[in-house]
Amino acid sequence: MSQLLHDEQQQGNTQQTSCSAPSSISLKELSLELSGTKILKNVSFDLSSAGINCLVGPSGAGKSSLLRCLTLLYDNWQGKITMDGIAIQSWPKGADALRRHIGLIAQKPSIFPTSIYQNVIFGLSRQERKQDQQKWVEACLRKAALWDEVCNRLFDPASTLSIGQQQRLCIARVIALNPNVLLLDEPTSSLDPRSKQLIEASLYDLAKNIPVLCVTHDLEQAQRLQGQMIFMCDGKLIETAPTNDFFQSPKRLETREFLRWSVCNCDE
C-alpha cells in the first residue's frame, strides 16, 4: 500500500511529492494557559524521523491541547515549536500552509456533507486536483484501509458510512494532502474492534514514512503499536521511553502509578 502511494506521488504530482519527506518536530518549553488555567507546563520533546509515538496520560493532562498547539489551532502558547528547524509561528505562507504539512485527525470523525470521493479530495486545492485524481483517491482510501468497502459507492453520501468507516475516511482525507507529520487524537476511542484493528494497521503502515503522534487512553493499543511512549500528566511531560521500557521498567513514580492505577497522582 505504501508503495502504491509513493508510486502515485511519482506520477507527476510534484507539489505533493515535495512535502512527502518525513519531518522532525521539536517542542521546547511549550506552555499554554486558557482562561487562567495552565494547561501545558514547559513541555519539551522531539518527534524525529518516521515511526509511531504514543502520547498517553490521564484526562486533563493536556494531550489534546498539545496537538492543537502543534497545528496552530491554539496560537496563544509560549515556548518554541519548530518543524524542520523553522518556527511554526513564522511558517512561510502562514498557518493554513503549515496545517497542510501536519495532518490532524480528531477523536470523533467529522465528515463533510458531500460524497465519499469529495471528502477525500476536500483539502486539495484546484491546482492539486490532477488528471489521475481518481487513482490518488483510490491510493488514499487503500492506505486508510477503506477502499474495499467503498470502491463501489464512491459517490454515495459520506454520511452513509459507519462511524468506524467515517474515521478511516477522515484518515484518507488527511493522507490525500500527503502530510509530513500525522497527529491523531484518540482516533479509535469510540470504534468497534475491527475498525480499531484496521486503523492501527493503517497507522503502522503510515508510520513507516512519516512521524505519527497518536494520543490514546488505550494502553493495550499503545503496546500493540510498539512505538515511542510519551507520558504526560497535569500539563507536564513526565517520561518518554520505548514501549517495552515504558511498560516494563518505568523510571518515574508518576508513570508507575499511572500504569498501576491508570489514575494520575502527580500533584506537586
Partner 1 sequence: MKAVLILLALPAILLPLACFVYIIIQALPALNWELLMGSNTTSGSLFAGTAGTGHGLWGQISGSLLMMLLACFLAAPLALSIALFHALWASPYQQRMMVILLQVLQGIPPIVYGLCGLIVLVHLLHWGISLAAGGVILALVILPLLSSNAIHALERIPIAQTESAKALGLSVGAVIVRVWLPSAWSSMLTGLLLAMARALSETAPILFTATVFSGITWPDSIFSPVTSLQTHIFYLAQEGSNAHAVDMAWASAAVLLGLVLCFSLMARLLRRYEGAL
Task: Quote the CA–CA distance of 49 and 51 in Å, as a whole number.
Answer: 7
- CA neighbours closer than 13 Å in the CB half-sphere of residue 65: 24
Residue given cell 509511531 in the structure block:
52
Secondary element (H or E) of residue 240: strand 236-242
Residue given cell 503502515 in the structure block:
205
Candidate residues 14, 75, 108, 162; the one interacting with partner 1 per rule CB under 8 A? 108
- Span from 110-118, 138-146, 189-197, 202-210 in contact with partner 1 (CB under 8 A): 110-118
Candidate residues 81, 98, 184, 199; the one interacting with partner 1 per rule CB under 8 A? 98
> Cβ of residue 253: shortest distance to partner 1, in angstroms?
36
In the three-class reduction of DSSP (H, G, I as helix; E, B as strand; rest coil), residue 22 is classed as coil
- Span from 23-31, 51-59, 93-101, 244-252 in contact with partner 1 (CB under 8 A): 93-101
Residue given cell 514501549 in the structure block:
243
Size of the site for partner 1 (CB under 8 A): 21
**143 near partner 1 (CB under 8 A):** no
Candidate residues 25, 27, 55, 104; the one interacting with partner 1 per rule CB under 8 A? 104
Residue 87 β-bridge partners: 82
Task: Quote the CA–CA distance of 15 and 12 in Å, as a whole number.
Answer: 9
In the three-class reduction of DSSP (H, G, I as helix; E, B as strand; rest coil), residue 197 is classed as helix
Candidate residues 15, 42, 48, 114; the one interacting with partner 1 per rule CB under 8 A? 114
> Cβ of residue 263: shortest distance to partner 1, in angstroms?
28
Binding site for partner 1 (CB under 8 A): 71, 73, 96-100, 103-104, 106, 108, 110, 112-114, 122-123, 170, 173-174, 177
